[in-house]
Amino acid sequence: MSTERSTLHTYAHAADIPEDAWTGLLRPQDLYLDERWLRVAERTAGCPMRYALLHRGGTVVAGLATALADKTASWVLARPDTLLEFSAQDGRPGAGDILRELPGSPADTMLPTLVCGGRHMGRSRVAARGGVTHTEVAALVGWAEELAAEQGAASVAYPFVEESDTVLRQVLSERGYLSHESGRYSTLAVPPGGFDDYLRRMTAHRRNRVLSERRRIGEAGVRMRIEPLRAELFPRLGELEHQLMRKYGVAWSPEQTAEVLGEMLVEFGEGIRVVQAEADGELRGFATILQFRGHWYARQSGFDYAYQDQLGKLPLYFETVYYFPVEEAARLGVSTIHYGLGSESAKLSRGCTAEPQHSYLLPVGPLGKTFRG
């Protein structure tokens, strides 16, 4: 156990954080805590973000990113109030119990909320070097609670803590946080032997189905490619993502897609690629992919559903998001593809594994008094 004195340094913007200090805390699984992504989040989140680094002696050993969200925050799939409602609807353990105890709606009682561990879906964490102590993690958690009080938050939240993050989970439990399962984060280990190796991992039934789906794609004349993202693609990508969002009842405009892609392109340059499915001279489906330390992260996607339906529900989704990327990832030496939360059964059937995520919530102010009795 270290006896060196620890000090805390805070920052109002990701650009102010010493880059070498922060990047040394990250794993290949932490793209969304990379400073480039944090800068994108700051410009698109519509809410203030704050950061802290914990120094032990002369070394930065841990850091925490936060975002203050209210009812105007558009990222509803990761906002703790709506996440609680979605989790309860899905029957996730613990969510219904917390929802029943609230004195009002989640939005009315939990907001504003200080979201900790990054403003993204999956793997909310205290970024840390190996060997970080329970006390050091607790110091950053305590700083966030003080920040929440200063900002007038009604709650503090870590929406997607990994089940394997035992230190953070223990710290939060000891400090009185409520918890519920909030989803399962899916990743795919890319077979080094390429697509044939990928198929060998499947049952015979699934393997035959995948081959049948790929034959249909080929017979339809769909051409697949992956290339660096270009701004001239934004309008069509925006329309395709709008179609996908509309299908699932999410309000999202092509202009929002263009804004987010533009921000990503500024920060990541050729580190962001787009998988494209083209037929009859038109882009029919896409998936964006970010690369970070030998891992790929699947981001936005979208599809021309009218075109698919004309051809008997052509399986563009699986070709664009799974099969073609797996081929390319193996060819390029990528070890892992991150698929994140949602659509778990489809992801598992295509070779992913999934780790449970847990939302931790600390009611503060009047809401805290309600839960403490």
pLDDT at 86: 96
Which distant-in-sequence residues (6+ apart) come within 8 Å of 246 by Cβ?
Answer: 252
Distances (CA, A) of 261 to 196, 204, 241, 277: 33, 39, 12, 18
Region 248-254 average pLDDT: 89
3-state secondary structure of 174: helix
Higher pLDDT, 368 or 94: 94
User: In percent, how much of the chain has pLDDT > 90?
Assistant: 91
325 confidence band (pLDDT: 50, 70, 90): very high
pTM, entire model: 0.94
How far is residue 187's CA from residue 359's CA, in Å, rounded to a whole number? 19
If one counts every other C-beta atom within 10 angstroms of the C-beta of residue 223, the result is 11
Cα–Cα distances (Å) from 225 to 195, 232, 324, 327, 328, in that order, read: 16, 16, 8, 11, 9
In which band, very low, low, confident or very high, does the pLDDT at 281 lie, cut at 50, 70 and 90?
very high
Mean pLDDT of the chain: 95
CA diameter of the chain: 68
b (16+ CB within 10 A) / e for 47-76? bebbbbbbbbeeebbbbbbbbbbeeebebb
Is 361 strand, coil or helix?
strand
Specify the pLDDT at position 205: 96
pLDDT at 1: 40
Secondary structure class of 131 (helix, strand, coil) = coil
pLDDT at 44: 84
pLDDT, one tens digit per residue, over 328-355 is: 999 999 999 999 999 999 999 999 999 9
Band of residue 45 on the pLDDT scale cut at 50, 70, 90: confident
118-166 pLDDT, tens digit per residue, is: 999 999 999 999 999 999 999 999 999 999 999 999 999 999 999 999 9
Q: DSSP state, 99?
A: H
CB–CB of 239/258 below 8 Å? no
Report pLDDT digits (tens) over 25-34.
999 999 999 9
Residue 369 — very low, low, confident or very high, per pLDDT cuts 50/70/90?
Answer: low
Lowest pLDDT segment from 68-77, 90-99, 198-207, 269-278: 68-77
pLDDT of residue 242: 97
pLDDT at 249 (0 to 100): 86
Predicted local distance difference test score (pLDDT) of residue 251: 85
Reading the block at residue 14, the tokens are 């990701």
28 is written with which tokens? 């290949």
Residue ranges and CATH numbers for the domains of the chain are 6-182+357-372 (3.40.630.30), 191-334 (3.40.630.30)
Comparing 22-26, 75-79, 227-231, the range with the smallest average pLDDT is 75-79
